[in-house]
A and B are shown apart, each in its own frame.
Chain A
Amino acid sequence: MARRVVRRSKEALAAGPQVPYSRAEVEALSAQKGEPAWMAEKRLAAWDAFEALPWPDPTRDEPWRRTDYRHMRWHEATPRRSVNGVVLDDIPEFHRAPLIGETQGGMVAQVGDATVSRDIAGELAKAGVIFTDLDTAVREHGDLVREHFMTRAVLPDEDKFTALHAALWTHGVFLYVPRGVQVALPPHSVMWAPLPGATLGHVLVVVDEGAEVTYLHEYASPDVSEQALYVGATELIVKDNAGLKFVSLQEWGNNTYGFTHQRARVGRDARLDWVVGATGGHFTKDVLEIELDGRGSWTRMSGYYFAEKNQFFDLDTHQSHNAPNATSDVLFKGALKDASRTVWQGMIVVQPDAQKTDGFQANRNLMLSKTARADSIPGLEIKANDVRCTHAAALSRIEEEPVFYLMARGVSRAMAERLLIEGFFMPILDRIPFERVRERLLGTIDKKMEDLIGTVEFRRSPRT
Chain B
Amino acid sequence: MGAVLEICDLHAGVNGTPILKGVNLTVRQGEVHALMGPNGSGKSTLSFVLTGHPVYEVASGDILFNGESILDLEPDERSHLGLFMAFQYPVSIPGVTVANFLRTALNAHRKAKDPSDKGVSIPEFRRLMLDRMKFLQMDPSFAGRYLNDGFSGGEKKRAEILQMAVLQPKIAVMDETDSGLDIDAVRIVAEGVNKLVGPEMGVLVITHYQRILNYIPPQFVHVMYDGRIVESGGPELALKLEDEGYAPYEEKYGKVVTAP
B85 in contact with A408 (CB, 8 Å): yes
User: Which residues does chain B contribute within 8 Å of A422, judged by CB atoms?
Assistant: 95-96
Selected from B55, B100, B112, B146, the residue in CB contact (under 8 A) with A410 is B112
Any B CB within 8 A of the CB of A406: yes
Any B CB within 8 A of the CB of A14: no
B108 in contact with A401 (CB, 8 Å): no
Selected from A400, A401, A408, A424, the residue in CB contact (under 8 A) with B51 is A408
A411 in contact with B93 (CB, 8 Å): no
Q: Residue-by-residue, is A409-422 near B (CB-CB < 8 Å gives 1, otherwise 0)?
A: 11111010001101
**Bound-complex Cα distance A404 to B93 (A):** 12
Selected from A407, A413, A426, A427, the residue in CB contact (under 8 A) with B79 is A407
- Given the known interface contacts A404-B54, A405-B93, A423-B95, the answer about A410 and B101 at a Cβ–Cβ threshold of 8 Å is no
- Given the known interface contacts A402-B91, A420-B93, A426-B95, the answer about A415 and B79 at a Cβ–Cβ threshold of 8 Å is no
**Bound-complex Cα distance A204 to B101 (A):** 42
Any A CB within 8 A of the CB of B234: no
B93 in contact with A402 (CB, 8 Å): yes
Any A CB within 8 A of the CB of B219: no
Closest to B109 in A: A410
- Contact-residue bracket for chain B: 20 to 34
Selected from B53, B74, B100, B167, the residue in CB contact (under 8 A) with A409 is B167
Any A CB within 8 A of the CB of B104: yes
User: Which residues does chain A contribute within 8 Å of B105, judged by CB atoms?
Assistant: 406, 409-411
Q: Residue-by-residue, is B43-65 near A (CB-CB < 8 Å gives 1, otherwise 0)?
A: 00000000111110000000000
User: Which residues does chain B contribute within 8 Å of A463, judged by CB atoms?
Assistant: 55
Min CB gap B66→A, angstroms: 17
User: Which residues does chain B contribute within 8 Å of A413, judged by CB atoms?
Assistant: 74, 76
Q: Residue-by-residue, is A305-343 near B (CB-CB < 8 Å gives 1, otherwise 0)?
A: 000000000000000000000000000000000000000
Counting residue pairs across A and B whose Cβ atoms lie within 8 Å, the total is: 81
Min CB gap B253→A, angstroms: 26
Any B CB within 8 A of the CB of A425: yes
State how many residues of chain A have any CB contact under 8 Å with chain B.
25
User: Which residues does chain B contribute within 8 Å of A407, judged by CB atoms?
Assistant: 52, 74-76, 79
Selected from A411, A423, A425, the residue in CB contact (under 8 A) with B146 is A423
Min CB gap A16→B, angstroms: 44
B53 in contact with A404 (CB, 8 Å): yes
User: Which residues does chain A contribute within 8 Å of B112, judged by CB atoms?
Assistant: 410
Any A CB within 8 A of the CB of B163: yes
B108 in contact with A410 (CB, 8 Å): yes
**Bound-complex Cα distance A424 to B146 (A):** 11
Any A CB within 8 A of the CB of B140: no
User: Which residues does chain B contribute within 8 Å of A460, judged by CB atoms?
Assistant: 55
Selected from B74, B85, B95, B100, the residue in CB contact (under 8 A) with A427 is B95
**Bound-complex Cα distance A409 to B51 (A):** 10
**Bound-complex Cα distance A406 to B55 (A):** 16
A424 in contact with B95 (CB, 8 Å): yes
A349-407 contacts to B (CB < 8 Å): 400-402, 404-407
**Bound-complex Cα distance A216 to B209 (A):** 60
**Bound-complex Cα distance A412 to B105 (A):** 9
A409 in contact with B163 (CB, 8 Å): yes
Given A423-B96, A463-B55, 12 more A-B residue pairs with CB atoms under 8 Å apart are A402-B91, A405-B90, A406-B101, A407-B76, A408-B51, A408-B87, A409-B79, A409-B101, A411-B101, A412-B108, A415-B108, A422-B96
Instruction: List residues of B whose CB falls within 8 A of some A CB.
Output: 51-55, 74-76, 78-80, 85, 87, 89-91, 93-96, 100-101, 104-105, 108-109, 112, 146, 163, 167
Instruction: List residues of A whose CB falls within 8 A of some B CB.
Output: 400-402, 404-413, 415, 419-420, 422-427, 460, 463-464
Closest 5 CB pairs between A and B? Answer: A423-B95, A426-B95, A410-B79, A407-B75, A405-B91
Could you show 22 A-B contacts with beta carbons less than 8 Å apart? A400-B54, A404-B53, A405-B93, A406-B101, A407-B75, A408-B75, A410-B105, A410-B108, A411-B105, A413-B74, A415-B108, A419-B93, A419-B96, A419-B101, A419-B104, A422-B95, A423-B94, A423-B96, A424-B95, A426-B94, A427-B95, A464-B89
